Amino acid sequence: MEQLKRMAVFATVVDKGSMVAAAAELGMTSSAVSQQISKLEASTQVSLLHRTTRKLTLTEAGAAFYRSCAQVLALAQEAEQRLLELRDAPVGELRITAPVGFAGGRLSRALAPLLAAHRQLRLNVFFDDEQVDLIEQRIDIAVRVGRLENSSLVARHVADWNAVLCASPAYLAQHAAIETPEQLADHDWLSLSTQHLPQQLVLVSADGEERRLKLVSRVSCNNLIAAREFTLAGMGLSVQPEPEVRGELASGRLQRVLPAWRPAPMPIYLVTPRRDAQPAKVRYALEALRQNLQKG
C-alpha cells in the first residue's frame, strides 16, 4: 500500500510540475513529497527525475513509469467517484425481500416514484413468507411482519397494522353465531404456519380484557394469501392484516368475527444487515417504504 501511495505522489509531482505544487495538492509538506519520491527511487533502484534548482524533468524510465502511475491514479479516482455516486444517488441493484402478501401492489406503489426519479436504479424483489438469509442472498432490505428473533441484523419498527379475525358469510351461515372467544375452539382455524401445531390467538376487548386461546389449525399455509383464499372459500376463520382485507370487508366477501375483541396488532419492520454507511439506494428505499407502510 505504501508503494501505491508513492506512485500517486510521483504522478502528482509530474502533473503539477514541481514538488511544491504537488505538496499543496496533496496536503503534504515539500520535504515529505521529496522523501516519498526518494523512497520510490530507492525501492525501484531507478532514477525517475532529474532535479535542478529550476525544474524537474523525467528520466526515460521515469516517463515510462509515469504512464503506469497515471493509470493507477485515474483508476483510484474513478473508484472514489463511484463510491460517492453510490453514497449520494440511488444507483445499482436494490434487492428487497417481503412476505408474499405484499405482492399485491403495496411495494410497487411505494417504490415506483423512486424508480421513476432515478433511472440508474434497478429493483429485484423476492416474495417469500420464509425468512431468508439477508447476508447470503445479498438482500438490502427485508420487510418482516410479527415478532423478530434476536440477531445481528438491524430492525426498524415502522408500523403496527391492526389485525382482524374474519370468515366468509358462507362459513358463518353454516354455524351458530360466535359470541365469545371460547367458542372459537369449536371452529375450523386457518393459520399461517408450516406445521400442524396448536396456534396461540390473543384477543383483547375494548376494556382491556385479554383471552389467550390455543387453536389447532385445520389448514396451515406457508403464506398469508393462501390462508386468505381458504378463508374466502368458506373453509374457516383466520386472522388477516386489516389494511390488506379492507376491500373484502367493505364488499361483504369477508365479515368480522367477534368485532368486540381484537387480535394483537401486527408489527411491521424494515430489516437491513447493518445501520452505518448505507448506500443511497437503501436510504431512499427505506424512507419510501416507511412512508407507505405507516399509512396502513
pLDDT value at residue 9: 84
Per-residue model confidence as pLDDT tens digits over 85-101: 556 677 789 999 998 88
Q: The CATH number of the domain where 111 resides is what?
A: 3.40.190.10
CB 231, CB 237: distance < 8 Å? yes
Q: Of 192, 183, 197, nearest to 229 (Cα)?
A: 192
Q: At which of 69, 85, 101 does a domain end?
A: 85
Residue 168 has pLDDT above 80, yes or no: yes
> Within this chain, do residues 119 and 244 fall inside the same structural domain, yes or no?
no
> Within this chain, do residues 245 and 104 fall inside the same structural domain, yes or no?
no
> Within this chain, do residues 7 and 66 fall inside the same structural domain, yes or no?
yes
Per-residue model confidence as pLDDT tens digits over 21-45: 888 888 888 888 888 888 888 888 8
Q: At which of 85, 118, 153 does a domain end?
A: 85
Residue 66 has pLDDT above 60, yes or no: yes
- The segment with the largest mean pLDDT, out of 40-49, 188-197, 244-253, is 244-253
> Within this chain, do residues 66 and 117 fall inside the same structural domain, yes or no?
no
Q: How far, in Å, are 132, 148, 154, 161, 282 from residue 136 at the CA level?
A: 8, 19, 16, 29, 17
> Within this chain, do residues 34 and 76 fall inside the same structural domain, yes or no?
yes
Number of neighbouring beta carbons within 10 Å of residue 143: 22
> Within this chain, do residues 182 and 208 fall inside the same structural domain, yes or no?
yes
Q: The CATH number of the domain where 257 resides is what?
A: 3.40.190.290
Report d(CA 212, CA 290) in Å as an integer.
31
> Within this chain, do residues 30 and 113 fall inside the same structural domain, yes or no?
no
Q: At which of 46, 69, 85 does a domain end?
A: 85
Residue 217 has pLDDT above 90, yes or no: no
Average pLDDT over residues 3-29: 83
Average pLDDT over residues 247-264: 94
> Within this chain, do residues 253 and 290 fall inside the same structural domain, yes or no?
no
Give residue 138's domain range.
92-161+267-294
> Within this chain, do residues 187 and 52 fall inside the same structural domain, yes or no?
no
Q: The CATH number of the domain where 25 resides is what?
A: 1.10.10.10
CB 224, CB 100: distance < 8 Å? yes
Average pLDDT over residues 48-57: 76
Per-residue model confidence as pLDDT tens digits over 196-209: 445 788 899 988 89
* Total domains present in the chain: 3
